[in-house]
Structure 1
Amino acid sequence: MPEVRSSDGARIHYDDVGRGEPALLFIPGWCTTRAVYRDLLPRCASRRRVLSVDLRGHGASEGAGTDFDSTTVLDDLLAVIEASGARQVVPVGLSHAGWWAIELRRELGAERVPQLVLLDWIVTEPPPPFLDALRGLMSDRWREARDGLFAMWLQGVDDENVIRFVREDMGAFGEDMWARAAREIASAYAREGSPMRALLNLAPSTPTLHLYAQPESHDYLAGQVAFGVQNPWFHVMKLPAVSHYPTFEVPDLVAAGIEALVSARETYVNTTLETPGAAPV
């Protein structure tokens, strides 16, 4: 497995498979390892190069011994890109890794980051219950707050891969990492307002695709569709999955959506793929 040393000497590990540019850069969210892309990686790597990273202090990467912030992680991702030699990358960010996707676009510019892919993220302003959960993660009731998030992400889920990943992989992270995650996520929303607002401020506009399964809300989807009508560079696809982790449940659809955006083989339109029994949009 390739590795790169960060500016402070921490070893950051990543997979490097497939060929072709732009390369996809798979970025897990906080308290998540690159294992979340296990089923997606070979599907995407059959068509183009894929770099799949473990964040510092996560999975095989070092750096959990001292505190760090989102800027440190961004520096690590930049180091991975430069070590890989990739001229162009399309960040694929799961959940709040989307903030790093946006920062990479800001840092490297539109020529080197031509598109963005966001997976299952709160792209609007965060709802009050979510902000309450972040505050809980930064308190002595962090475990209760974490378990509440797990319950929400696993509601109605019977896929053993998803259940095992959340309970075992994510459940292995302790209080320090969950508190750090909450601090950095809350800080990003306070600074940016929402991912949609941050995307609007990118110049030139960057073609962006949001693939998501949760929440099962008509208003959440309708708001994104309306945003896409006003900003044709933004596209949304509601996936026929149940959990917060469609990379496990519907990897073929996720891979197809990513490839359609990146290859620009067709004019991408706002699309809804509904779960059986779901109310029409």
Structure 2
Amino acid sequence: MAETRVGGARIRYDDVGQGGPTLLFIPGWCTSRAVFRKLAPWCSTLHRTLVVDLPGHGESSLPGMDFENATVVDILRSVIDASGARQVVPVALSHGGWWALELRRQLGSRIPALVLLDWLVLEPPPAFLQAVRALQTPQWRQAREGLFSLWLQGVSSPDVIRFVQEDMGSFGEDMWKRAGREVSRAYAQYGSPLRALSALSSPVPTLHLYAQPEDSAWLDAQRSFASSHPWYQVQKLPARSHFPLLELPEEMAARIGRFIDARVDVGNPLDRLAPSPS
């Protein structure tokens, strides 16, 4: 395990494997890096992987009494700098995608591609916006349990059930309210992730891997977007939950690997051989 310090906060991350580009695994809000415990080892056989605990999550400490999206991006940049990685492909779970997008804005070609996992990339439905607003109220616990029920509906995987109930369920009022606030702000500012991706100064190859919802209209809308934005790819996985990285890690790793091989040009050959720092 490696660590760096940012503004007094200790940020811990795993640094394993070798070969460029480096993959930066970014959890979502109220999610520790344990969510990648099955996927990252498969990916690390071909690429160096950095798996981060967000501030105040897992084994990373809080940077202060409160923090926001910009703070998380600064911390992720500090992890990249501390690692010495030249080219980094963020592999971002859910709303961690907002931070991946901002890394691309700030670092440009050092972020040659994005991999997004199970994200609400279209215009958010009213029920979702209502739920994230409710997370910011005294009824935050009921709102959280409602989300858990939605995510676990029809799910039988013990790994998924345990992760949602025990890992995500371990976060309390402050973090869930912060999550609701910051997710709401991002959608209010950009409208949708696809709109934000389209607004980047230069297109970035982007892969979205997801399993739910089953609604064919959800996939059709993304395919329609991809037809006019060839840098975007969407692939649906045959998993029962919103966490296919816990259900189908080997298949996900293979798809990520094929995408990077096809869409990412490692300009500096030394990056392919860059070892993890001791």
Q: Partner residue of 2:3?
A: 3
Shift of 1:264: 1.0
Measured on the aligned residues, the alpha-carbon RMSD in Å equals: 1.1
Q: Partner residue of 1:250?
A: 248
Alpha-carbon distance change, 132 to 265 in structure 1, aligned in 2, over 3 angstroms: closer
User: Which residues of structure 2 form unaligned runs of 5+?
Assistant: 265-278
2:177 and 2:14 map into 1 onto residues whose CA distance is 27
Tell me which amino acid in the other structure corresponds to 1:139: T
Shift of 1:203: 2.5
1:65 and 1:105 map into 2 onto residues whose CA distance is 26
Q: Partner residue of 1:82?
A: 81
Q: Partner residue of 2:223?
A: 225
Tell me which amino acid in the other structure corresponds to 1:180: R
Q: Partner residue of 2:273?
A: none
Residue 97 (structure 1) aligned with residue 100 (structure 2): no
> How does the TM-score come out when normalised to structure 1?
0.92
Tell me which amino acid in the other structure corresponds to 1:183: R
Tell me which amino acid in the other structure corresponds to 1:128: P
Corresponding pairs, count: 264
1:21 and 1:85 map into 2 onto residues whose CA distance is 12
Q: 5 Å matches for 1:232-247?
A: 232-247=230-245
1:216-275 superposed Cα distances (whole Å, 9 cap, x missing partner): 111110000000011111000011011111110011121011111111189xxxxxxxxx
Alpha-carbon distance change, 37 to 65 in structure 1, aligned in 2, over 3 angstroms: same
Q: Partner residue of 1:114?
A: 112
1:211 and 1:246 map into 2 onto residues whose CA distance is 9
1:184-223 superposed Cα distances (whole Å, 9 cap, x missing partner): 0000000011000011011321000000011111111000
1:136-173 superposed Cα distances (whole Å, 9 cap, x missing partner): 10111111100010011111111001100000000000
Equivalent residue for 1:201, pick from 199, 202, 213: 199
2:63 and 2:57 map into 1 onto residues whose CA distance is 8
8 Å Cα contact 1:58/1:64 also seen in 2 = no
Which structure 1 residue ranges, 4+ long, deviate > 4 Å from structure 2? Answer: none
Other structure's SS at 2:89 match: strand
2:150 and 2:250 map into 1 onto residues whose CA distance is 24
Q: Higher relative contact order at CA 8 Å, sep ≥6: structure 1 or structure 2?
A: 2
Percent of pairs with identical residues: 61
2:201 and 2:236 map into 1 onto residues whose CA distance is 27
Other structure's SS at 2:145 match: helix
Alpha-carbon distance change, 229 to 265 in structure 1, aligned in 2, over 3 angstroms: closer
Q: Partner residue of 1:36?
A: 35
> How does the TM-score come out when normalised to structure 2?
0.93
1:23 and 1:265 map into 2 onto residues whose CA distance is 14
Tell me which amino acid in the other structure corresponds to 1:104: L
